[in-house]
Amino acid sequence: MHNRTALVAIVVLAAAVTACGSSEPSPGKAGRATNANSPTSATPNTAAPSTAAPKLSTAWVPKLDKVTSSGVQGVCTHVGSQQCADHLTDIVTVGIDLQQAITEAGAKRMYPRSTDELDKMMRASDGYTNDGCLNDPAADVDGSPCFKHSLDIMGAGASLQFTMETDEMRWELDG
C-alpha cells in the first residue's frame, strides 16, 4: 500500500511540474533587464551569457525514462528478488553516469535539487547493498529497510526527470 501511495504521489507531482512547464525557455533576469531597458526590444542581446550552463535534461531525461520503465509489471513486488535488484541496478547505473555528467559539465550549482535526488539514490543503493536485501526473504516484510531503499531508488529515478528540468528553469530565471 505504501509503495502505491508513494508512486501515486510521484505521478501527481510529475503531472503538476509538466503542466507548469513550457517548451520555450524564458530569458534569465539579465536578459529581461537588458530587453526592458533597450530602446528597441527587437535588438538581440549579442553578449554571451557568462552563467550559461549545459542543458543536460535533453540527453538524460530519455535515459532516465527508459531505465525507470522496466516494461515488467510489478518488477519490484518482491524487493529482494534478482529481477528487482537488476532493475534497481540499471537505475543506479544511469544515476552514477548522470552525476558524472553534472560534475564534468561543472554544473553542480545549476542542478541542486537533482544533485540532492542523486545523493538520495546513492544512499538508498548503499543501504540496499549493506542491508543484504538481495535474496533476503525478510526484504518484503513490513518494516524492512529494503522496501524503503528500493522505493527511494525508483522514486529518485522517476522524479529526476522532472527535477532536472525544474533546476534548469530555475537557473534560467535566477541564474
Per-residue pLDDT 10s for the chain (175 aa) are 444 333 333 433 333 333 344 443 444 433 433 343 344 444 444 444 445 556 899 999 999 999 998 777 788 999 999 999 999 999 999 999 999 999 999 999 999 999 999 999 999 999 999 999 999 989 988 889 999 999 999 999 999 999 999 999 999 888 6
Task: Write phi, then psi, for 2 (nearest 5 degrees).
Answer: -65, -40
Using DSSP's 3-state secondary structure scheme, residue 111 falls into coil
Query: DSSP labels for 24-82?
Result: SPPP-HHHHHHHHHSS-TTS---SPPTT----THHHHHHHHHHHH--SSTTTTSSTTSH
Query: DSSP labels for 90-110?
Result: HHHHHHHHHHHHHHHTT-TTT
Say what the pLDDT of residue 170 is. Answer: 92
CA distance 111 to 168: 7
- The pTM score is 0.69
CA distance 60 to 62: 6
- Residue in 132, 8, 6, 9 with CA at minimum distance from that of residue 79: 132
- Residue in 42, 159, 13 with CA at minimum distance from that of residue 91: 159
Asked if 99 contacts 118 with a C-beta cutoff of 8 angstroms, the reply is: yes
